Structure 1
Amino acid sequence: MTEEIIIAGFGGQGVLSMGKILAYSGIMEDQEVSWMPSYGPEMRGGTANVTVILSDERISSPYLKLFDTAIILNQQSMDKFENSVKPGGLLIYDPNGISHHPTRNDIQIFQIEGTKIAAEMENKKIFNMVILGGFLKKKPIVKIENVIAGLKKSLSERYHHLIPLNEKAIHVGMENIHPYQTLVI
Protein backbone atom coordinates (compact mmCIF):
# COMPACT_ATOMS: atom_id res chain seq x y z
CA MET A 1 0.00 0.00 0.00
CA THR A 2 1.27 3.43 -0.93
CA GLU A 3 -0.75 6.60 -0.36
CA GLU A 4 0.50 9.87 -1.87
CA ILE A 5 -1.25 12.91 -0.39
CA ILE A 6 -1.12 16.66 -0.91
CA ILE A 7 -2.67 18.88 1.77
CA ALA A 8 -2.93 22.52 0.69
CA GLY A 9 -4.37 25.75 2.06
CA PHE A 10 -3.43 28.96 3.83
CA GLY A 11 -0.79 29.19 6.53
CA GLY A 12 -2.50 29.07 9.91
CA GLN A 13 -5.04 26.41 8.87
CA GLY A 14 -2.95 23.58 10.31
CA VAL A 15 -1.92 22.18 6.91
CA LEU A 16 1.62 21.29 7.97
CA SER A 17 0.45 19.96 11.35
CA MET A 18 -2.09 17.70 9.69
CA GLY A 19 0.64 16.29 7.47
CA LYS A 20 3.01 15.84 10.40
CA ILE A 21 0.37 13.97 12.41
CA LEU A 22 -0.25 11.65 9.45
CA ALA A 23 3.50 11.10 9.11
CA TYR A 24 3.94 10.30 12.82
CA SER A 25 0.98 7.92 12.61
CA GLY A 26 2.57 6.10 9.68
CA ILE A 27 5.87 5.79 11.51
CA MET A 28 4.05 4.22 14.47
CA GLU A 29 2.60 1.67 12.08
CA ASP A 30 6.07 0.79 10.75
CA GLN A 31 5.39 2.39 7.37
CA GLU A 32 7.92 4.21 5.24
CA VAL A 33 7.11 7.92 5.47
CA SER A 34 7.92 11.13 3.64
CA TRP A 35 6.77 14.56 4.88
CA MET A 36 7.73 17.49 2.67
CA PRO A 37 6.35 20.95 3.51
CA SER A 38 6.24 23.92 1.18
CA TYR A 39 5.28 27.40 2.35
CA GLY A 40 5.99 31.06 1.81
CA PRO A 41 7.73 33.39 4.26
CA GLU A 42 4.42 34.54 5.75
CA MET A 43 3.50 33.02 9.11
CA ARG A 44 -0.26 33.13 8.50
CA GLY A 45 -2.29 33.89 5.42
CA GLY A 46 0.28 32.81 2.82
CA THR A 47 -0.14 29.58 0.92
CA ALA A 48 1.15 26.34 2.41
CA ASN A 49 1.11 22.74 1.35
CA VAL A 50 2.64 19.48 2.44
CA THR A 51 3.21 16.25 0.59
CA VAL A 52 2.87 13.12 2.71
CA ILE A 53 3.68 9.65 1.45
CA LEU A 54 2.90 6.55 3.51
CA SER A 55 4.06 3.23 2.09
CA ASP A 56 4.85 -0.38 2.89
CA GLU A 57 7.80 -0.08 0.49
CA ARG A 58 10.76 2.28 0.26
CA ILE A 59 9.87 5.71 -1.04
CA SER A 60 12.03 6.58 -4.01
CA SER A 61 11.33 10.32 -4.07
CA PRO A 62 9.26 12.82 -2.08
CA TYR A 63 8.67 14.92 -5.22
CA LEU A 64 5.35 14.15 -6.86
CA LYS A 65 3.30 15.62 -9.68
CA LEU A 66 0.25 13.39 -9.20
CA PHE A 67 -1.43 12.37 -5.95
CA ASP A 68 -3.81 9.66 -4.76
CA THR A 69 -5.50 12.22 -2.51
CA ALA A 70 -5.71 16.02 -2.43
CA ILE A 71 -7.05 17.76 0.67
CA ILE A 72 -7.85 21.31 -0.43
CA LEU A 73 -8.59 24.17 1.96
CA ASN A 74 -8.66 27.29 -0.24
CA GLN A 75 -9.39 28.43 -3.79
CA GLN A 76 -5.73 28.95 -4.79
CA SER A 77 -4.99 25.36 -3.81
CA MET A 78 -8.04 24.10 -5.69
CA ASP A 79 -6.85 25.92 -8.81
CA LYS A 80 -3.35 24.51 -8.42
CA PHE A 81 -3.97 20.91 -7.33
CA GLU A 82 -7.38 19.74 -8.63
CA ASN A 83 -5.77 18.41 -11.81
CA SER A 84 -2.95 16.78 -9.83
CA VAL A 85 -5.23 14.04 -8.47
CA LYS A 86 -4.70 10.73 -10.25
CA PRO A 87 -7.74 9.41 -12.15
CA GLY A 88 -9.74 7.35 -9.66
CA GLY A 89 -8.21 9.36 -6.80
CA LEU A 90 -9.82 11.35 -4.02
CA LEU A 91 -10.30 15.10 -3.57
CA ILE A 92 -11.59 16.37 -0.22
CA TYR A 93 -12.27 20.05 0.32
CA ASP A 94 -13.82 22.57 2.66
CA PRO A 95 -16.28 24.64 0.58
CA ASN A 96 -15.72 27.76 2.73
CA GLY A 97 -14.14 30.37 0.46
CA ILE A 98 -14.31 28.16 -2.63
CA SER A 99 -15.88 29.98 -5.56
CA HIS A 100 -14.96 27.49 -8.31
CA HIS A 101 -15.87 24.00 -7.16
CA PRO A 102 -14.12 20.96 -8.64
CA THR A 103 -15.30 19.90 -12.07
CA ARG A 104 -13.61 16.55 -12.66
CA ASN A 105 -15.71 13.43 -13.06
CA ASP A 106 -12.88 10.87 -13.04
CA ILE A 107 -12.15 11.23 -9.29
CA GLN A 108 -14.12 10.92 -6.06
CA ILE A 109 -14.98 14.34 -4.62
CA PHE A 110 -16.08 14.93 -1.03
CA GLN A 111 -16.88 18.07 0.95
CA ILE A 112 -16.45 18.63 4.64
CA GLU A 113 -17.44 21.93 6.23
CA GLY A 114 -14.49 22.09 8.60
CA THR A 115 -14.67 25.85 9.10
CA LYS A 116 -18.35 25.71 10.05
CA ILE A 117 -17.92 22.65 12.29
CA ALA A 118 -14.92 24.15 14.12
CA ALA A 119 -16.94 27.34 14.73
CA GLU A 120 -19.84 25.27 16.07
CA MET A 121 -17.38 23.45 18.37
CA GLU A 122 -16.18 26.92 19.46
CA ASN A 123 -12.50 26.44 18.62
CA LYS A 124 -11.22 27.32 15.15
CA LYS A 125 -7.88 25.62 15.90
CA ILE A 126 -9.50 22.17 15.60
CA PHE A 127 -10.41 22.86 11.96
CA ASN A 128 -7.56 20.68 10.68
CA MET A 129 -8.57 17.74 12.90
CA VAL A 130 -12.14 17.92 11.56
CA ILE A 131 -10.73 17.72 8.03
CA LEU A 132 -8.33 14.91 9.01
CA GLY A 133 -11.25 12.95 10.47
CA GLY A 134 -13.13 13.26 7.18
CA PHE A 135 -10.10 12.02 5.26
CA LEU A 136 -9.62 9.05 7.60
CA LYS A 137 -13.28 8.11 7.16
CA LYS A 138 -12.76 7.82 3.41
CA LYS A 139 -9.24 6.36 3.60
CA PRO A 140 -8.49 4.71 6.96
CA ILE A 141 -4.77 4.38 6.19
CA VAL A 142 -3.71 4.79 9.84
CA LYS A 143 -5.36 3.83 13.12
CA ILE A 144 -7.04 6.54 15.18
CA GLU A 145 -5.00 5.60 18.28
CA ASN A 146 -1.84 6.30 16.28
CA VAL A 147 -3.28 9.62 15.11
CA ILE A 148 -3.84 10.58 18.76
CA ALA A 149 -0.28 9.46 19.60
CA GLY A 150 0.95 11.54 16.62
CA LEU A 151 -1.04 14.48 17.93
CA LYS A 152 0.70 14.14 21.31
CA LYS A 153 4.10 14.12 19.57
CA SER A 154 3.37 17.15 17.43
CA LEU A 155 1.62 19.31 20.04
CA SER A 156 3.65 21.13 22.64
CA GLU A 157 3.02 19.66 26.09
CA ARG A 158 1.34 22.87 27.23
CA TYR A 159 -1.45 22.09 24.72
CA HIS A 160 -1.98 18.46 25.69
CA HIS A 161 -5.14 19.46 27.56
CA LEU A 162 -6.65 20.07 24.09
CA ILE A 163 -6.08 16.48 22.92
CA PRO A 164 -9.57 15.26 23.96
CA LEU A 165 -11.13 18.15 21.98
CA ASN A 166 -8.95 17.31 18.97
CA GLU A 167 -9.94 13.65 19.22
CA LYS A 168 -13.60 14.67 19.33
CA ALA A 169 -13.03 16.87 16.27
CA ILE A 170 -11.62 13.88 14.36
CA HIS A 171 -14.72 11.83 15.15
CA VAL A 172 -17.05 14.73 14.26
CA GLY A 173 -15.19 15.09 10.94
CA MET A 174 -15.67 11.39 10.25
CA GLU A 175 -19.43 11.87 10.65
CA ASN A 176 -19.64 14.98 8.47
CA ILE A 177 -17.94 14.21 5.18
CA HIS A 178 -20.31 14.03 2.21
CA PRO A 179 -20.04 13.39 -1.51
CA TYR A 180 -19.90 16.59 -3.53
CA GLN A 181 -23.12 17.12 -5.44
CA THR A 182 -23.17 19.51 -8.36
CA LEU A 183 -26.30 21.64 -8.39
CA VAL A 184 -28.57 21.17 -11.37
CA ILE A 185 -30.51 24.35 -12.11
Structure 2
Amino acid sequence: MTKSIICAGFGGQGIMFMGKLLAYSAMRSGYKVTWISSYGAEARGGAAYCTVIISDSTIASPVIENPDICIVMNNPSFEKFKDRIKKRGILILNSSLIDNELNIRKDIKSIRIPMTDIAVSCGNIRVANMVGLGAFLLADEIFDLDFLFNTLEEFIPAHRKNFLDINKNALRKGYEFGRGNKG
Protein backbone atom coordinates (compact mmCIF):
# COMPACT_ATOMS: atom_id res chain seq x y z
CA MET A 1 0.00 0.00 0.00
CA THR A 2 1.28 3.42 -0.97
CA LYS A 3 -0.79 6.60 -0.68
CA SER A 4 0.28 10.00 -1.96
CA ILE A 5 -1.41 13.07 -0.53
CA ILE A 6 -1.17 16.77 -1.31
CA CYS A 7 -2.45 19.32 1.22
CA ALA A 8 -2.79 22.79 -0.31
CA GLY A 9 -4.04 26.26 0.56
CA PHE A 10 -2.55 29.62 1.44
CA GLY A 11 -0.08 30.59 4.11
CA GLY A 12 -1.74 30.89 7.51
CA GLN A 13 -4.26 28.06 6.95
CA GLY A 14 -2.13 25.49 8.79
CA ILE A 15 -1.32 23.47 5.68
CA MET A 16 2.13 22.44 6.91
CA PHE A 17 0.82 21.50 10.35
CA MET A 18 -1.89 19.36 8.75
CA GLY A 19 0.65 17.56 6.57
CA LYS A 20 3.13 17.08 9.40
CA LEU A 21 0.43 15.70 11.69
CA LEU A 22 -0.66 13.30 8.96
CA ALA A 23 2.94 12.20 8.35
CA TYR A 24 3.72 11.84 12.05
CA SER A 25 0.55 9.80 12.60
CA ALA A 26 1.51 7.47 9.78
CA MET A 27 5.02 7.06 11.23
CA ARG A 28 3.52 6.20 14.62
CA SER A 29 1.40 3.58 12.83
CA GLY A 30 4.54 1.92 11.48
CA TYR A 31 4.42 3.22 7.92
CA LYS A 32 7.30 4.67 5.95
CA VAL A 33 6.70 8.36 5.27
CA THR A 34 7.97 11.36 3.32
CA TRP A 35 6.86 14.97 3.86
CA ILE A 36 7.92 17.92 1.73
CA SER A 37 6.76 21.54 2.03
CA SER A 38 6.46 24.26 -0.59
CA TYR A 39 5.82 27.92 0.16
CA GLY A 40 5.14 30.94 -2.00
CA ALA A 41 7.28 34.05 -1.57
CA GLU A 42 4.76 35.55 0.86
CA ALA A 43 4.79 34.42 4.50
CA ARG A 44 1.02 34.62 4.99
CA GLY A 45 -1.53 34.61 2.23
CA GLY A 46 0.77 33.15 -0.42
CA ALA A 47 0.54 29.68 -1.89
CA ALA A 48 1.46 26.84 0.45
CA TYR A 49 1.31 23.11 -0.03
CA CYS A 50 2.94 19.97 1.22
CA THR A 51 3.22 16.45 -0.06
CA VAL A 52 2.96 13.34 2.09
CA ILE A 53 3.64 9.79 0.95
CA ILE A 54 2.61 6.94 3.24
CA SER A 55 3.71 3.41 2.40
CA ASP A 56 4.24 -0.01 3.89
CA SER A 57 7.31 -0.43 1.65
CA THR A 58 10.31 1.67 0.65
CA ILE A 59 9.42 5.01 -0.94
CA ALA A 60 11.46 5.42 -4.12
CA SER A 61 10.93 9.18 -4.51
CA PRO A 62 9.33 11.88 -2.35
CA VAL A 63 8.04 13.68 -5.45
CA ILE A 64 4.31 13.45 -6.19
CA GLU A 65 3.17 14.11 -9.73
CA ASN A 66 -0.34 12.66 -9.44
CA PRO A 67 -1.65 12.29 -5.88
CA ASP A 68 -4.14 9.68 -4.73
CA ILE A 69 -5.73 12.25 -2.43
CA CYS A 70 -5.73 16.03 -2.47
CA ILE A 71 -7.00 18.24 0.36
CA VAL A 72 -7.51 21.76 -0.98
CA MET A 73 -8.43 24.76 1.13
CA ASN A 74 -8.87 27.57 -1.44
CA ASN A 75 -9.60 28.36 -5.11
CA PRO A 76 -6.01 28.79 -6.33
CA SER A 77 -5.08 25.40 -4.84
CA PHE A 78 -8.14 23.80 -6.39
CA GLU A 79 -7.19 25.18 -9.80
CA LYS A 80 -3.56 24.11 -9.40
CA PHE A 81 -4.19 20.50 -8.36
CA LYS A 82 -7.64 19.45 -9.65
CA ASP A 83 -6.28 17.97 -12.88
CA ARG A 84 -3.33 16.23 -11.23
CA ILE A 85 -5.31 13.84 -9.03
CA LYS A 86 -5.12 10.21 -10.14
CA LYS A 87 -8.11 8.67 -11.86
CA ARG A 88 -10.39 7.29 -9.12
CA GLY A 89 -8.51 9.48 -6.63
CA ILE A 90 -10.11 11.61 -3.94
CA LEU A 91 -10.48 15.38 -3.76
CA ILE A 92 -11.41 16.83 -0.36
CA LEU A 93 -12.27 20.49 -0.82
CA ASN A 94 -13.18 23.41 1.38
CA SER A 95 -16.58 24.34 0.00
CA SER A 96 -16.60 27.46 2.21
CA LEU A 97 -13.94 29.06 -0.01
CA ILE A 98 -14.01 27.15 -3.30
CA ASP A 99 -16.69 28.53 -5.58
CA ASN A 100 -15.97 26.76 -8.84
CA GLU A 101 -16.93 23.24 -7.84
CA LEU A 102 -18.63 22.60 -11.18
CA ASN A 103 -15.18 22.07 -12.67
CA ILE A 104 -14.62 18.85 -10.72
CA ARG A 105 -13.63 15.90 -12.86
CA LYS A 106 -16.05 12.99 -13.11
CA ASP A 107 -13.34 10.33 -12.75
CA ILE A 108 -12.50 11.24 -9.14
CA LYS A 109 -14.46 11.17 -5.91
CA SER A 110 -15.01 14.58 -4.37
CA ILE A 111 -15.84 15.31 -0.76
CA ARG A 112 -17.15 18.84 -0.30
CA ILE A 113 -16.91 20.06 3.26
CA PRO A 114 -17.38 23.63 4.52
CA MET A 115 -14.12 23.56 6.48
CA THR A 116 -13.95 27.28 7.19
CA ASP A 117 -17.61 27.49 8.29
CA ILE A 118 -17.21 24.48 10.57
CA ALA A 119 -14.00 25.95 12.02
CA VAL A 120 -15.82 29.20 12.79
CA SER A 121 -18.57 27.21 14.54
CA CYS A 122 -15.82 25.53 16.61
CA GLY A 123 -14.66 28.98 17.72
CA ASN A 124 -11.54 29.61 15.61
CA ILE A 125 -11.20 29.90 11.84
CA ARG A 126 -7.61 28.64 12.13
CA VAL A 127 -8.75 25.05 12.78
CA ALA A 128 -10.21 24.62 9.28
CA ASN A 129 -7.18 22.47 8.50
CA MET A 130 -8.19 20.02 11.24
CA VAL A 131 -11.73 19.87 9.86
CA GLY A 132 -10.24 18.81 6.52
CA LEU A 133 -7.98 16.25 8.17
CA GLY A 134 -10.98 14.80 10.02
CA ALA A 135 -12.74 14.31 6.68
CA PHE A 136 -9.57 12.71 5.30
CA LEU A 137 -9.80 9.97 7.94
CA LEU A 138 -13.04 8.75 6.39
CA ALA A 139 -11.74 9.07 2.85
CA ASP A 140 -8.76 6.84 3.47
CA GLU A 141 -9.14 5.08 6.85
CA ILE A 142 -5.38 4.64 7.38
CA PHE A 143 -5.95 5.22 11.10
CA ASP A 144 -8.90 6.14 13.29
CA LEU A 145 -9.94 9.35 15.00
CA ASP A 146 -8.80 8.33 18.49
CA PHE A 147 -5.35 7.48 17.16
CA LEU A 148 -5.14 10.92 15.55
CA PHE A 149 -6.23 12.54 18.83
CA ASN A 150 -3.40 10.74 20.65
CA THR A 151 -0.90 11.77 17.99
CA LEU A 152 -2.08 15.38 18.17
CA GLU A 153 -1.55 15.40 21.95
CA GLU A 154 2.01 14.22 21.41
CA PHE A 155 2.76 16.36 18.36
CA ILE A 156 1.26 19.76 19.17
CA PRO A 157 3.98 22.21 20.30
CA ALA A 158 4.05 23.14 24.00
CA HIS A 159 3.22 26.78 23.24
CA ARG A 160 0.05 25.62 21.41
CA LYS A 161 -1.27 23.15 24.03
CA ASN A 162 -4.07 25.60 24.83
CA PHE A 163 -5.42 24.85 21.32
CA LEU A 164 -5.51 21.08 21.84
CA ASP A 165 -9.23 20.83 22.66
CA ILE A 166 -10.38 23.07 19.81
CA ASN A 167 -8.20 21.11 17.36
CA LYS A 168 -9.70 17.84 18.60
CA ASN A 169 -13.20 19.29 18.27
CA ALA A 170 -12.47 20.41 14.70
CA LEU A 171 -11.10 16.96 13.81
CA ARG A 172 -14.22 15.36 15.26
CA LYS A 173 -16.56 17.75 13.41
CA GLY A 174 -14.77 17.14 10.09
CA TYR A 175 -14.94 13.39 10.67
CA GLU A 176 -18.64 13.53 11.59
CA PHE A 177 -19.46 15.76 8.63
CA GLY A 178 -17.64 13.37 6.34
CA ARG A 179 -19.40 10.38 7.88
CA GLY A 180 -22.77 12.04 7.34
CA ASN A 181 -21.93 12.74 3.69
CA LYS A 182 -20.10 9.53 2.82
CA GLY A 183 -21.27 7.66 -0.18
Name the TM-score, length of structure 2 as normaliser.
0.92
Distance in 1 (alpha carbons) for counterparts of 2:167 and 2:69: 22
Q: Following TM superposition, by how much is the alpha carbon of 1:142 offset from its aligned partner in structure 2, in angstroms?
A: 2.3
Contact 2:123 2:166 in 1 (8 A): no
1:83-94 superposed matches below 5 A: 83-94=83-94
- Residue type at the aligned position of 1:46: G
Deviations 1:88-129 (A, max 9, x none): 110010112323213211110111111001111111121111
Alignment match, 2:18: 18
Contact 1:19 1:52 in 2 (8 A): yes
Contact 2:119 2:128 in 1 (8 A): yes
Alignment match, 1:183: none
Deviations 1:37-78 (A, max 9, x none): 101232210000000011000100011110100111111111
1:9-88 superposed matches below 5 A: 9-88=9-88
Contact 2:97 2:116 in 1 (8 A): no
Distance in 2 (alpha carbons) for counterparts of 1:44 and 1:142: 31
Alignment match, 1:136: 137
Distance in 1 (alpha carbons) for counterparts of 2:39 and 2:110: 25
| 2:173 is equivalent to residue 172 of structure 1 | yes
1:96-111 superposed matches below 5 A: 96-101=96-101, 102-111=103-112
Q: Following TM superposition, by how much is the alpha carbon of 1:149 offset from its aligned partner in structure 2, in angstroms?
A: 3.7
Alignment match, 1:122: 123
- Residue type at the aligned position of 1:87: K
SS of aligned partner of 1:83 = coil
Contact 1:28 1:146 in 2 (8 A): no
Contact 1:148 1:163 in 2 (8 A): no
Contact 1:25 1:143 in 2 (8 A): no
- Residue type at the aligned position of 2:83: N
SS of aligned partner of 1:111 = strand
Distance in 2 (alpha carbons) for counterparts of 1:158 and 1:72: 27
Q: Following TM superposition, by how much is the alpha carbon of 1:150 offset from its aligned partner in structure 2, in angstroms?
A: 3.2
Contact 1:22 1:150 in 2 (8 A): no
The number of equivalent residue pairs is: 180
- Residue type at the aligned position of 2:142: I
Structure 1: 5+ residue stretches without partners: 181-185
Distance in 2 (alpha carbons) for counterparts of 1:117 and 1:31: 30
